[in-house]
Amino acid sequence: MSVSLEAMPVSVSGGLMHPAGAALRVQTSSSTTTDAEACRLAAGVARGDEAAFRELYDRYQRRLFRFTLVLSQGDELLAGDTLQSVFVTAASKLRAVQSEEHLWNWLARIARQHLAKAWRQRRRESSLLPLADLPESPDLRQADSMLEQGLDAALQALEPPERELIEWFYFDGLSHKDIAERLDATSKAVSSRLERARARLRSLLARTLAHET
């Protein structure tokens, strides 16, 4: 399958039942459906189905960008490059999965591998202090959840206007021009505000990641 990511923005009967039992049944049914969808997507990508790849990207790009953003300590360029690398790898190497959790863990592991490679390269080329190591845990699902919670905490620590800018630009895929129109401001003013918000977010993420490790 030939993959192009240029157009993709970097931008989961009968009878009475006790309410708790009903909730459990609905949750189980939803989980089963989600797992089946993940298996279908992985199988489609494995056989070169471009529609399946597009759906995979649409479903996971936002979550993966959040994940890579916190692992890269707020380095949005590194996070974006890693995101693209993950999906390029998925296009050629993703095979059958057993569940949605299995699919996410595979994508997250590939992201970690690409980030680790990029950091090793930076350490060889830079005389700056080495970046912090990626957090390790015997339970990667727990570690990944903690990192996502760390990003949420860092975003919440921002001033509301800063958080809004970050979410519009990185997670909603709005351009400087789009944001400027929403705020009745100039694109230059939006760029300056974003730069300050990014610097603040990087600082908060660095502290969050250091605490988690």
**Domain assignment of residue 89, given as a range:** 24-127
Looking at the domain assignment, is residue 121 inside a domain?
A: yes
Classify residue 60 by its DSSP letter: H
One domain, residues 114 and 40: yes
Residues above pLDDT 70, as percent of the chain: 70
CB 135 within 8 A of CB 67: no
Looking at the domain assignment, is residue 67 inside a domain?
A: yes
Q: How many CB atoms within 10 Å of residue 116?
A: 13
Q: What is the pLDDT of residue 167?
A: 84
Of the listed ranges 72-76, 110-114, 155-159, 185-189, the least confidently predicted one is 72-76
Of the listed ranges 23-27, 29-33, 63-67, 95-99, the least confidently predicted one is 23-27
Across 12-16, 118-122, 152-156, 181-185, the highest mean pLDDT is recorded for 181-185
> What is the rounded CA–CA span in Å between residue 55 and residue 197?
31
Q: CB within 8 A of 91, min separation 6: which ones?
A: 1, 3, 45, 53
Q: How many CB atoms within 10 Å of residue 131?
A: 19
Q: What is the pLDDT of residue 14?
A: 37
Boundary residue ending a domain (76, 93, 127): 127
> What is the rounded CA–CA span in Å between residue 151 and residue 26?
30
User: Distance from CA of residue 22 to its chain's centroid?
Assistant: 32
Specify the number of domains making up the chain.
2
For 24-45, what is the mean pLDDT? Answer: 78
Q: Which of 107, 115, 113 is nearest to 78 (CA)?
A: 115
Boundary residue ending a domain (95, 127, 159): 127
For residues 206 and 9, the model is more confident at: 206
CB 94 within 8 A of CB 45: yes
Check pLDDT > 60 for residue 12: no
One domain, residues 106 and 162: no
This prediction has a pTM of 0.61
Q: CB within 8 A of 80, min separation 6: which ones?
A: 10, 65, 68
For residue range 92-135, list pLDDT tens digits in order: 999 989 999 999 999 999 998 898 888 777 776 654 444 444 44
Boundary residue ending a domain (127, 148, 172): 127
Half-sphere exposure of 69 (CA within 13 A, CB side): 28
pLDDT band (50, 70, 90) for residue 56: very high
